[in-house]
């Protein structure tokens, strides 16, 4: 029954963006910056990690998209010689790195990362661990459904950081 999606936020699952674009061609796609940072960390020398991460974090802390693009391109210029493969990969996904800047400042910190989704996934993992195994696929589906409903019940009236301030703006996307 889902008819319209404004934004997808995802890690680097191969084919995800293409599949989503076919089903929801008007939706925007944001790559999770936390996952991007983890990927960068895995591909750089230990002694460079702190400096690289401090500089990369500056990208999502800018006042606007133009400033973020400048910081990103300065990052490319500084690290390209040492980590050409990392910079090449970032350039390939650049269009998906700064999409969150198209939204109001109040909600940007909530939509550049999949942390909310991963938090839910961790709850499901933690509650599933004592069960060891499920007798069939239906029981697993039921278990996950119950966890999702429980999460919805717990947070139904809660408005995530910044969203209450821009509710009218967000609702206008779906008119």
In sequence order, the 6+-apart residues with CB closer than 8 A to the CB of 105 are 63
CB 37 within 8 A of CB 58: no
State the Cα–Cα distance between residues 43 and 48, nearest whole angstrom: 10
Residue with tokens 């960390």: 41
Residue with tokens 């980590």: 83
Distances (CA, A) of 139 to 129, 132, 142: 14, 13, 5
**Is a pLDDT exceeding 90 seen at residue 40?**
yes
Segment 139-171, tens digit of pLDDT: 888 888 888 888 777 766 666 666 777 777 777
Report the predicted TM-score, pTM, of the whole model to 2 decimal places. 0.75
The domain segmentation of the chain, as residue ranges, is: 7-111, 115-172
């Amino acid at each position: 029954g889902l008819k319209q999606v404004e934004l997808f936020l995802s890690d680097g699952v191969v084919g995800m963006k293409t599949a989503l674009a076919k089903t929801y061609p008007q939706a925007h796609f944001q790559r999770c910056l936390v996952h991007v940072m983890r990927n960068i960390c895995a591909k750089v020398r230990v002694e460079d990690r702190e400096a690289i991460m401090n500089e990369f974090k500056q990208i999502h802390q800018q006042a606007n998209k133009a400033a973020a693009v400048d910081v990103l391109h300065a990052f490319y210029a500084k690290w390209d010689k040492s980590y050409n493969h990392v910079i090449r990969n970032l350039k390939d996904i650049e269009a998906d790195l700064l999409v969150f800047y198209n939204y109001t400042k109040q909600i940007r910190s909530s939509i550049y990362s999949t942390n909310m989704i991963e938090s839910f996934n961790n709850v499901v993992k933690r509650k599933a661990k004592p069960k060891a195994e499920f007798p069939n696929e239906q029981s697993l589906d039921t278990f996950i459904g119950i966890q999702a409903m429980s999460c919805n019940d717990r947070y139904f009236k809660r408005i995530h950081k910044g969203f209450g301030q821009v509710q009218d703006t967000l609702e206008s996307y779906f008119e």
